Each structure stands twice: as structure tokens, then as C-alpha cells.
């Protein structure tokens, strides 16, 4: 995608804050889900052998999501928080896709991989726009 193309689809001024808030909310909801109801979580995502690990990841996602939501609500997004959002999405998307394609986890994780990699791409695009605006 060229720089001109990026300018043609310019986001609203607070697009990074909107992204942080949306991603954070998604992570809080999905993070607490296995803590609230492992039964329904497994009904959608498949059976789990290490429930303690599912709950640990859920708590970590809740913390990351809370950080993103808090940053968006304060209308302050330091580079480290933007990195947290993009890098977490990239890592989760890569892991979900890799293991779903190898049959180690349910195919539903391919949908998760797509959404996570979409979030990571959104952070990358918005970061590139921000850097370009700062330099020129």
C-alpha cells in the first residue's frame, strides 16, 4: 500500500484510541469468559486439558485489555501501550493460526487468528501514519 493510498483512507483523528478501546474491551470480555464459565468456553473453543493455563491466559488478557481500555479512556496512548496492543494481537494471532492449521486446537481458532492479525495490521497501519505525520 502506498503512502498516497494511506492518505486517501485517513482515519479519524482518534483512531488509535478507538482501536485501543475496542481491542481492550474484546480482551477483557474474552479473558474473563473462561473464569466465569469454563463449560461455555469449552463448548465454543473445544475441550481443554490444562484449565489452569486457560485461566492464566484469560487473566493476562484481562490485564492487557484493561490497560488498553484505561489508556483509551484517558485519551492518552503512549507508544508502549500501542506496542502492547499490536504485539499482543500479532502473537495471539500467530499462535492461534499455527496450532489451528496443525489440528492441535479447534478450527474456531482460525477466526481468532484472523481477528488478531487484523488488529495487529491496524496497529501497524496507524503507527506508520503517525510516524509519517511526525516526519513530514
pLDDT tens across 98-127, in order? 999 999 999 999 999 999 999 999 999 999
Q: Give the residue-averaged pLDDT of 1-6.
A: 50
82 pLDDT above the threshold of 60: yes
Asked if the structure places residue 6 within a domain, the reply is: no
For the chain, counts of helices (H) and of strands (E): 6, 0
**Contact 71/81 with Cβ under 8 angstroms?**
yes
The band of 131, judged by pLDDT with boundaries at 50, 70 and 90, is: confident
pTM: 0.87
Asked if the structure places residue 128 within a domain, the reply is: yes
What CA–CA distances, in Å, run from 10 to 40, 49, 54, 130?
Answer: 40, 45, 38, 11
Percent of the chain topping pLDDT 70: 90
What CA–CA distances, in Å, run from 106 to 4, 45, 103?
Answer: 40, 6, 7
Asked if the structure places residue 66 within a domain, the reply is: yes
* Half-sphere CA count of 22, side-chain side, radius 13 A: 15
SS3 for 67-92 is: HHHHHHHCCCCCHHHHHHHHHHHHHH
Output the pLDDT for position 56: 98
The rounded mean pLDDT for the chain is 92
Length reported for the chain: 136
CA 109 – CA 98 distance, rounded (Å): 9
Look up the domain containing 42 and give its range.
13-135
Reported as a single tens digit per residue, the pLDDT across 51-75 is 999 999 999 999 999 999 999 999 9
CA 63 – CA 68 distance, rounded (Å): 9
Cell for 96? 492461534
Asked if the structure places residue 119 within a domain, the reply is: yes
The band of 13, judged by pLDDT with boundaries at 50, 70 and 90, is: low
Output the pLDDT for position 14: 84
Asked if the structure places residue 129 within a domain, the reply is: yes
User: Per the structure, how many domains does the chain have?
Assistant: 1
Asked if the structure places residue 24 within a domain, the reply is: yes
Percent of the chain topping pLDDT 90: 84
Amino acid at each position: 500500500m502506498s503512502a498516497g493510498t494511506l492518505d486517501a483512507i485517513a482515519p479519524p483523528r482518534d483512531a488509535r484510541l478507538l482501536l485501543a478501546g475496542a481491542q481492550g474491551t474484546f480482551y477483557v470480555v474474552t479473558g474473563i469468559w473462561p473464569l466465569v464459565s469454563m463449560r461455555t468456553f469449552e463448548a465454543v473453543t473445544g475441550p481443554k486439558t490444562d484449565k489452569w493455563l486457560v485461566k492464566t491466559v484469560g487473566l493476562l488478557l484481562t490485564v492487557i485489555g484493561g490497560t488498553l481500555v484505561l489508556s483509551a479512556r484517558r485519551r492518552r496512548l503512549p507508544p508502549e501501550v500501542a506496542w502492547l496492543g499490536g504485539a499482543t494481537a500479532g502473537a495471539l494471532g500467530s499462535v492461534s493460526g499455527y496450532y489451528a492449521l496443525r489440528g492441535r486446537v479447534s478450527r474456531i481458532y482460525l477466526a481468532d487468528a484472523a481477528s488478531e492479525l487484523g488488529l495487529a495490521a491496524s496497529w501497524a497501519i496507524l503507527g506508520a501514519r503517525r510516524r509519517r505525520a511526525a516526519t513530514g
